[in-house]
Amino acid sequence: MLITPKTKLASIGKITPKYAKILEKLGLQTVEDLLFYFPFRYDDFSKVVPISEKYLGKVVTVEGKIIKTKLARIFRRHLTIEEIVIQDENNIPLKAVWFNQPYILDTLKEGVSVRLSGKIVLNKKFLSMSNPAWERAAREITNTGGIIPVYSETRGLTSKWLRWQIKPLLQIAKEIPDVIPEEIRKKLNLYDIYTALRQIHFPENQEKLLRAQKRFAFEEMFLVQLKTLQVRLLWAKEKSVAIKFDEKLIKDFVSGLPFKLTNAQRKASFEILKDLEKERPMNRLLNGDVGSGKTIVAAIATLEALTAGYQVAIMAPTEVLARQHFLTLLAILRNHKINIALLTSSYKLACHSGLDPESSRTDLNYSLDSRLRGNDTRGNLLKKIKNGEINLIIGTHALIQKDVNFNNLALIIIDEQHRFGVAQRAYLQQQTTEINDGIKGKIPHFLTMTATPIPRTLAIALFGNLDLSILDEMPKDRKKIITKIIPPGGRKEIYNFIREEIKKGRQVFVILPLVEESKILTEVKAATQEYKRLSEEIFPDLKIGLVHGRLKPAEKEKVMAGFNKKELDILVATAVVEVGIDIPNATVMIIEDADRFGLSQLHQFRGRVGRSQHQSYCFLFSTSNSETAKSRLQALVESENGFKIAEKDLELRGPGQFLGTLQSGLPDIAMENLTNVRLIKVAQEEAKNILKSDPALKNHPLLVEKMARFSQNIHLE
């Protein structure tokens, strides 16, 4: 059959239905998808040497003829040991050993020539390799003898199998059209798509691998810049309503708060209020550290717009967070007569913020009483929004849906909680220009809030002329969270400490990682196992809850509500608690396998505690002996400054993960070039040049097609 980049993998003879199903789960359906499934690291087996003691302790590739094979079974341990002995032309023997892989000996028989790659060690005076990569010497180099790609694996799918499938399909890459225009490739000396794909999967040497990575890093950044610049060009032509700064209103509001604003909050609020005075629509990013008080800054902007008689929409990435914003703003604005609605798939409720002036933040949180619950249907709420009866609408990004019509929407605030990449944010912004805001010839002002501290130099390069407000100052009354790295032997002591904290009436988070490379242990399985272990073995007398990503929003809500009402002592959770959940009574955060998370993400988790007057603690459990892992975690112990931690994260991993620019299966290794601010600026420059002559990209259909994926990464509920 004729195979093209768009050929379905399921229709290729060598890919059985079983494998096609596994690949589909990974989002790989076509040949092109598979070719863009990049390695996340490489084993350097390129040093091909004769068998010799002088390579002891080195990772090398050797070749020889098998002179002996042996299969041993240890029944009591359910273990098989596979051994071969090879000899090269110098007649020096080397033993290779594998465990529980008896099928190896079906291929590796006496007399067969074989290539082995691994570390040479001395075992009982015998040169040997444990669990080496192998292939018959007659085969083309795929698994040994070069720089060998290692892919993210899942149950039933190995890197070896992927290498065997991808290598013959690389020829098809010649038919993949190159999204980077030829003149840019020539100017910047970038590989064409075929060469780049060949070298990223099977690099001939380190230099060519780096060039391939640089090409893909540039491509990603170039597309991101095109999208954001395109939206900015559209934005510059638009007009918004000018909302006059009501100084008395804001001063009275701020002086009535139970705490003092930080200087950073004052500055950011002033910048936003000045933006609202202009007819040009605000396009600002509020970039704040965990716990730096973004919500109150958003509340000040909201109050200004509402008091001037306009509507405000606040959007959050999840229902849990939308509900939390609803309750928080209900409490903050309780002395102002404002009609607030919460509109998501699960919630259709509205109330008046002046309804219960006695109610406090804690009373409201997670305890919507019958007066707040309301019996509104979606249709009824939509009617009230359209006629202006409701002026503050809080929900998920589904508020952008076509059936939501506003009366006079003047401000949109998006709390993205680092869920979206730069280009996804631009797409959402573009959507807001098409919203039915009810004001003819105007579009709403636009404020994005992100909880991922982004180092200023990178932010300026990445966001270009987007206005930035930075909250890099913590409220004065916040106690420092005591952070410690706990080795395996220290677990019991921490469990005893937890008991003491719970006796004092405090609560505990236990966070488990979801690691891409280890999909065999799915997040649900890992979280469920830990929940069972803690409930049955460690704390059988305590009340423990479980939250993971596969739970329905209503189930998550129920568990979170129980935790917030202190009905639970411990909450076992996967990364779902990262997104701004506020439980002031929780004082202990345990993070299992902490070395598997990025520093910025760990900092986000840590920010879930330390939200009250009680001393809080963050314990990082790690079994890793790697010095790099230890020094990374140490950076978290030493600093509570999210911007400094982000700088370190950037230096160690590149920004692919914590900025979310990584949206197309590119691993961090291909994004390392993004720490190079110059590369971002070059991508920005090239994007500007193209848009000068072709603002709508009519002459660049490939770019339009490729950029469409940014919108696909946004799930509006």
pLDDT at residue 374, as a whole number: 46
CATH no. of 47-145: 2.40.50.140
State the pairing for strand pair 482-486/121-123.
Answer: unpaired
pLDDT of residue 423: 63
The answer to whether 587 and 563 have CB atoms below 8 angstroms apart is no
CATH architecture type of domain 242-471: 3-Layer(aba) Sandwich (3.40)
Which parts of the chain register pLDDT below 50?
Answer: 355-375, 515-521, 578, 656-671, 715-717
Provide the pLDDT for residue 8: 93
Q: What is the pLDDT of residue 362?
A: 34
**Beta strands 311-316 and 409-415, pairing class:** parallel
Q: What is the pLDDT of residue 605?
A: 85
Please give the structure tokens belonging to residue 401: 């849906």
State CA 533 to chain mean position distance.
28
Phi, psi of 148 (to 5 degrees): -100, 125
- For residue 352, the model assigns a pLDDT of 67
Q: Extract the tokens encoding 675.
A: 């720490």
- Phi-psi map region of 568: left, alpha, beta (phi>0 left; psi -120 to 50 alpha): beta
Q: Are 142 and 135 in contact (CB under 8 A)?
A: yes
Query: Where are the domain boundaries for CATH 2.40.50.140 in the chain?
Result: 47-145
pTM of this prediction exceeds 0.75: no
Residue pointed to by tokens 């219960």: 356
Distance of alpha carbon 602 from the chain centroid: 12
At residue 421, what is the residue type? G
Tokens 């009250």 found at:
612
The domain made up of 482-639 is a member of CATH 3.40.50.300: yes
Nearest to 434, CA basis, from 423, 446, 422, 451: 446
| 339-343/348-352 β-pairing | antiparallel
CA distance linking residue 623 with residue 488, whole number of Å: 6
For the chain, residues classed under CATH 3.40.50.300 are 242-471, 482-639
pLDDT digits (tens, 9 = 90+) for 671-699: 455 556 778 788 889 999 999 999 889 99
